[in-house]
Structure 1
Amino acid sequence: MADLSKSALLSAHDLTSQRWVMVSVMLGTGIVSINNNSFNPAIPQFMHDFRLAEVSVSWLMIIFLLTMSLSLLLASFLSQRFGQRRIYLISLFVFMMSSVLGAFATQFSVVLAARALQGISNGLMVPLSLGILYSVIPKNERSAVTGQWSGMMMLSLAAGPMIGALVLAWLDWQSLFLINIPLACFAWIIGCIFIPKPMVQVQPVSFNWSSFVWLTGSVVSLLVALSQVQQLADLSGYLFILLLLVSLFSAGLFYRTRHNQLFPIINWQLFQSSIFNKSLIISTAHTAALFILLLLIPLLIQNTLSLSVLWTGFLLMISALITSLCAKRVAQYLNQQNAKWLVSIGLCFSSMGFIGLSLIQTNALWPIAVCLIIHSVGFGLSYMPATTTGLNQLEQQVLINQGASLNNLLRRLFATIAVLFAALYLQLQTHYSLPTDSISAVQIHAIHELFAVCASMMLLVLPLVLKFPSAKL
């Protein structure tokens, strides 16, 4: 009888620990996911408060995307080397401290430093969160937990813009950092107490640091070089040329090390599959266009149309919700439908949304909302089938995992470059406008042209879908 009571107590204790681990992980990853895009509506306010041009303020998105992308490469290595519990808790602590740093920042460079640290935390925490949950949840309950985790992530991403807009409407941009601190602190304390320490000692693993350094150097040098351009004459400036050469040199060294390392960052064998390559191009174009949209919509609504930040948050939230719902619906029926047609229809819808945004000539908000909804439907219909089709062409499980990682990496890296190019185009258009031109009119025209470019990107990758296999997934 005593043994039964002791067993019941242990079982109750385990159940309580599991629940608190779920609270810590769900809350921690939920906060960083909300933080991911809650800053998008704040772009115009940062421009006003720090007197920034388009290229400078675009780094608010770029630095987060860049550091998140690069830290994703480190997540697996660091978790194997030091344990996922330790890396998760350190990342959550860094996120909390970076929020403190950002909340009291008086210079934009400090804000960027805080966003960079938050990007690193995001890139490390999100991949490790499911592994931590699986370490305490029985196998027969993992499907339900995965569903809860996925739902939380979708809800967080959808709610982020609206939460950011509400904070900005009532408070200021510093509060976007402040709201993270108590929640992150609570999640961190709970995690320190209840996330179990690993029973097995972690083993030393190798990592291709030279390739990582060359890749980082190449991307960062290119982005900094483009940021130096204030006018077309800067393209022939010594600093721009030097940084561009450094970027090309680093890229060359990164490519040269592809066969010399036992643990390549990119498995070049993946590119032997033409279908995977095509799906990668489609996914990358989709993501680049999406992030250009996330840069332009706040500028269009708040700067050029002089509407409330709440409209920005509301429209971006609706767009994210529609994308999530469409993607979820597609996931349920993907095995019964032809992926080729899903991707084709989705790309057509996305291009229609961008074309509509490029042609709007009225200050009314409803045409923008309709076009955003059309784009969101297209993105939700086509993104996951395109990615899944490419990964299904990889025969080995290890290649599938590496292909998924490569997809995440390239999508985000190219999105950072696309955002910077879009901001640079806006800035140059404003710089070379005639003195008699209205700045607002010039910006609207430039934004319309960028939406047209995004539509062209969708249409250019559409023929690639015709090469997809006709067999059902």
Structure 2
Amino acid sequence: MENQSANVDLSKIKRGPIVAALIIGAFVAILNETLLNIAFPDLMADFKITESTVQWLATAYMLVVGMLVPVTALLQQWFTTRQMFIGAMMLFLVGTVISSVAPVFDVLLVGRVIQALGTGLMMPVMMNVILVIFPPEKRGGAMGMIGLVIMTAPVIGPTLSGLIVEHLSWRWLFYLIIPLAAFSVIFALAFLKNVTTLTKPKVDVISILLSCIGFGGIVYGFSSAGDRGSWSDPVVVWSLVAGGIALILFVWKQLVSRNPIMDLRAFKYPMFSLVTVLMLVMMMSLFSTMIMLPLFMQQVLLLTAFSAGLALMPGGIINGIMAPVSGVLFDKFGPRVLVIPGIVLMCVAIWMFMGIESDWTKGHIIMIHIIMMVGISLVMMPAQTTGLNQLPRSLYAHGTAILNTLQQVAGAIGVALFISIMSSGAKEYMKTSKDPTSPSELIQSMVAGLHNAFFIGLCLAVLALIISLFIKRTHAPKEEGAEQAAKAQVQTSKG
């Protein structure tokens, strides 16, 4: 067991290779998350399955990540940086190999779940390591590099996937990931160092079970509502009820436990709490466009999946380029000069999308999407870094786990919410239609539904703007006493 991290002298750590190892792994995992969706029609034909069955490849992935991330704070106190990250990437690699050779759908689903286990373990570890190895005044630039990967990989995914599926078998979506994942493992073995302190707290099995049922139930319930198109479906209702009850019990258990697996004392720090709410609202608002635009382009403008992915690529690339720039600006000027203008740009873009019509050109959409993605690049990483900067080092792993978990939940809620708003708006339009069977009327009904969805998206963006007015630069509390106590404990254990 590599238990040397308590004695690591962080001043001698070479940060560049560590960040490179983290970024390579993150890029591979996040690219994979959006790679498979465009191949769903091919998978349905190959395995002779229905749309509701193939959807499990996306739902199960989101579900596993949502269940696993809350436990990562505990795991990071039991396993070293190298063990966590390399273990996560090995799981991801194994899942990719299984998926690539899957003879039946069930085997493909198992491979996908193993991939999700790797992704769920890796993302909080990556953010925690950045917090540990960089001082607060340099974290913005480092988080900006992570932001480049987090925002660019999902945009490249659908376009790359469309290109591959058009010319090769869907299995190539996994074949191409295998060497990238293998390279990530080898690079991490060579360059990744242990930078976190192991405390090995008592494992609270009941809290882990409540966490899995709570977050898993909520994510699955909202995902099912989006897939099934009904909030009254028994599966949706019982998933949300079971998840909600388990979540309440989980929160209570964390508040009374001496060694919580997700330390909710992080919410005692006001800027962290503010940023958490801001990120929830932001993620839901972001999904109003991430979900609606591809649907509009494919079903109204009649573009292919590949063309729709290509149309969203300029905004994604500009967002990726802007992420490191906004990180450097954050280190220099603080969060307010970035976050507030960023959310204003988001509000403007969503307001423009509210006027969406069936005669819009692809260029019109690309222009507004670029405005929105520039706004997001000014908000995402600076806001998260601000919130995490206020936490003491002992809460870094818990803070990153909380943010990552709630973003997964917000993503699931966002998808379900905006699909249901769009569907109900389309149904309302058709009730007043003089010719409900006309293709042009079907298109107009979808446009009407989109107007409703973007209106709610705008309301959320305005709420995010109000919250952002209270954001300010933060400084981590001094923990000299805690660090001295930890050193004394190490010396005692040696004696």
TM-score for the superposition, normalised by structure 2: 0.73
Q: Which of 166, 169, 179 is the aligned partner of 1:169?
A: 166
Cα offset, 1:181, TM superposition: 2.6
Contact 1:276–1:389, Cα closer than 8 Å, also in 2? yes
Contact 1:360–1:367, Cα closer than 8 Å, also in 2? no
Q: Distance in 2 between matches of 1:386 and 1:166?
A: 35
Q: Does 1:184 align with 2:181?
A: yes
Cα offset, 1:158, TM superposition: 5.2
- In structure 2, the residue matched to 1:324 is 320
Q: Does 1:423 align with 2:419?
A: yes
Output the amino acid matched with 1:383. M
Q: Report matched runs for 1:163-242 at 5 Å.
A: 163-185=160-182, 187-188=184-185, 194=190, 204-226=200-222, 227=224, 230=228, 235=232, 239-242=235-238
Which residues of structure 2 form unaligned runs of 5+? 1-14, 477-495
Q: Report matched runs for 1:237-256 at 5 Å.
A: 239-256=235-252
Contact 1:65–1:413, Cα closer than 8 Å, also in 2? no
Mark the CA change 1:443 to 1:52 in structure 2 (over 3 Å): closer, same or farther.
farther
- In structure 2, the residue matched to 1:397 is 393
Output the amino acid matched with 2:298. Q
Q: Distance in 1 between matches of 2:345 and 2:370?
A: 10
Q: Which of 78, 81, 84 is the aligned partner of 1:81?
A: 78
Q: Distance in 1 between matches of 2:392 and 2:404?
A: 19
Q: Does 1:313 align with 2:309?
A: yes
- In structure 1, the residue matched to 2:254 is 258
Cα offset, 1:462, TM superposition: 1.6
Q: Distance in 1 between matches of 2:326 and 2:155?
A: 18
Q: Does 1:413 align with 2:409?
A: yes
Mark the CA change 1:52 to 1:239 in structure 2 (over 3 Å): closer, same or farther.
closer
- In structure 1, the residue matched to 2:437 is 436
Cα offset, 1:348, TM superposition: 1.5
Q: Can you list the C-alpha shifts for 1:357-385, whole angstroms capped at 9, x where unaligned?
A: 23121241011101110101111122233
Q: Can you list the C-alpha shifts for 1:407-426, whole angstroms capped at 9, x where unaligned?
A: 22212222122213333445
Output the amino acid matched with 1:214. L
Deviates more, 1:279-288 or 1:323-332: 323-332
Contact 2:97–2:174, Cα closer than 8 Å, also in 1? yes
Contact 1:278–1:390, Cα closer than 8 Å, also in 2? yes
Contact 1:75–1:128, Cα closer than 8 Å, also in 2? yes
Deviates more, 1:279-288 or 1:238-247: 238-247
Output the amino acid matched with 1:262. R
Contact 2:326–2:378, Cα closer than 8 Å, also in 1? yes
Q: Does 1:378 align with 2:385?
A: no
Cα offset, 1:387, TM superposition: 2.8
Contact 1:165–1:312, Cα closer than 8 Å, also in 2? no
Output the amino acid matched with 1:375. M
Q: Report matched runs for 1:20-419 at 5 Å.
A: 27-39=24-36, 41-42=38-39, 51-52=50-51, 60-78=57-75, 80-104=77-101, 111-128=108-125, 150=146, 153=149, 156=153, 159-185=156-182, 187-188=184-185, 194=190, 204-226=200-222, 227=224, 230=228, 235=232, 239-337=235-333, 339-361=335-357, 362-392=359-389, 394=390, 396-399=392-395, 402-419=398-415
Cα offset, 1:60, TM superposition: 4.8
Q: Which of 462, 469, 474 is the aligned partner of 1:466?
A: 469
Q: Distance in 1 between matches of 2:366 and 2:60?
A: 28
Contact 1:33–1:157, Cα closer than 8 Å, also in 2? yes
Q: Can you list the C-alpha shifts for 1:74-133, whole angstroms capped at 9, x where unaligned?
A: 445445535444444443333233224434557766655443322221122345569999
Deviates more, 1:112-121 or 1:18-27: 18-27
Q: Can you list the C-alpha shifts for 1:241-264, whole angstroms capped at 9, x where unaligned?
A: 443432232122112202332222
Contact 1:354–1:454, Cα closer than 8 Å, also in 2? yes
- Aligned with 2:51: secondary structure? coil
Q: Distance in 2 between matches of 1:87 and 1:395?
A: 22
Output the amino acid matched with 1:91. A
Q: Distance in 2 between matches of 1:161 and 1:203?
A: 41
- Aligned with 1:436: secondary structure? coil
Q: Distance in 1 between matches of 2:54 and 2:174?
A: 17
Cα offset, 1:231, TM superposition: 6.2
Q: Distance in 2 between matches of 1:416 and 1:123?
A: 15
Cα offset, 1:303, TM superposition: 3.5
Q: Distance in 2 between matches of 1:45 and 1:288?
A: 30
Q: Distance in 2 between matches of 1:328 and 1:21?
A: 17
Contact 2:158–2:306, Cα closer than 8 Å, also in 1? no
Contact 2:391–2:399, Cα closer than 8 Å, also in 1? no
Output the amino acid matched with 1:436. T
Mark the CA change 1:225 to 1:437 in structure 2 (over 3 Å): closer, same or farther.
farther
Cα offset, 1:395, TM superposition: 5.7
Q: Distance in 2 between matches of 1:349 and 1:125?
A: 31
Contact 2:30–2:154, Cα closer than 8 Å, also in 1? yes
Contact 1:339–1:472, Cα closer than 8 Å, also in 2? no
Q: Give the superposed CA RMSD.
A: 4.4
Which residues of structure 1 form unaligned runs of 5+? 1-17
Q: Distance in 2 between matches of 1:245 and 1:409?
A: 19
Q: Distance in 2 between matches of 1:196 and 1:328?
A: 22
Output the amino acid matched with 2:310. F
